[in-house]
Amino acid sequence: MNTFIIAEIGINHNGDIKIAKKLIDGAVEAGCDMVKFQKRTLDLVYTQEELNKPRESPWGTTNRQQKEGLEFGETEYDEIDRYCKQKNIEWTASAWDVPSQLFLRKYDLNYHKVASPMLTYTDLLQTIAEEGKHTFISTGMSTMEQITNAVEIFKKANCSYELMHCNSTYPMKLEDANLRVIETLRNEYGCNVGYSGHESGIIVSCAAVALGATSVERHITLDRAMYGSDQAASLELTGLNRLTAYIRDIELSLGSAEKKIHPSEVPAMLKLRKH
């Protein structure tokens, strides 16, 4: 089974649909299976106090202005939906509140995504699960008990799901990757387990695939030096191309668990075992 590769554009488009399209093009060229965005209703996700805090950004001097500048609306998502269909790539967005999830229903998406911060948001999980779409559930910042509670919601709704091991630091230190948790989650819940990474570079993501991750999600950007909190933990498009190529090579090299003499070994066997 091929690893399902998700290119997370998130908010790295910086409010510009042209940048979003360039990132979609990069994901298509790299052979990714899906691109992902983020959708928020700001006045539900953040307190007024938080939104009113001072913050210098290209869009103004408050948190609200910054977050409004990064938030796509219906016009942009209509274009994203059209463009992804034209480019023959799946897309989805991780909703951070129930109205945002209901908004996404307009697009009849084939997949949904639960971001790590939302794993304990019961109302949102129930809204997602009732749609019955295959859902990737990131598990950063979460205990096994919290993961179990989320899994039970999807089981009760008979909704297909896949857990994603994750560490929610941006960027993540190598020593915090704890990739053996992939096996722990697989054994505990008997489901597919992927990996959502925020590290610099690609080696951890490749190791996750070697350990059996069934999906890999990485943030992508045109330039890691661009404005934005997620840029430093993102892959530029050249890095994304390397990652997808390496993942496909790893899949090929893993082969089967059966020990056998390969036809390619026979000439060497006949030559080197003449005695």
Question: What's the pLDDT score for residue 197?
Answer: 96
Q: Is pLDDT at 233 greater than 90 in this prediction?
A: no
Is cis: bond before 171, omega within 30 of 0?
yes
Whole-number pLDDT of residue 228:
85
| pLDDT at residue 271 in the model | 86
pLDDT tens digit sequence for 48-62: 999 999 999 999 999
Q: What pLDDT digit, counting tens, does each position of 194-228 carry?
A: 999 999 999 999 999 999 999 999 999 999 989 98
Give residue 109's pLDDT.
Answer: 98
Rg of the chain over Cα atoms, rounded to whole angstroms, equals: 21
Measured in residues, the chain has a length of 275
User: Structure pTM?
Assistant: 0.95
pLDDT attached to residue 269: 86
d(CA 128, CA 238): 34
- Distance, in Å, from the CA atom of 207 to the CA atom of 267, rounded to the nearest integer, reads 33
Report pLDDT digits (tens) over 71-125: 999 999 999 999 999 999 999 999 999 999 999 999 999 999 999 999 999 999 9
- Report which of 157, 153, 150 is spatially closest to residue 166, judged by C-alpha positions: 150
215 bridge partner residues: 4
CA 131-135-136 angle, 5° bins: 160
CATH superfamily name and code, 4-272: Aldolase class I (3.20.20.70)
Map residue 14 onto helix, strand or coil. Answer: coil
Per-residue pLDDT at 167: 96
* Helix axes 144-156 and 181-189, enclosed angle (nearest 10): 40
Rounded to whole angstroms, the Cα distance separating 176 from 186 reads: 19
Find out whether 36 and 4 touch, Cβ atoms under 8 Å.
Answer: no
Residue 1 clears pLDDT 80, i.e. is over it? no
Span 145-150, average pLDDT: 98
Sign of CA dihedral 128, 129, 133, 138: positive
Angle (nearest 5°) at CA 220 between 251 and 232: 115
Give the start-to-end residue ranges of the domains of the chain.
Answer: 4-272
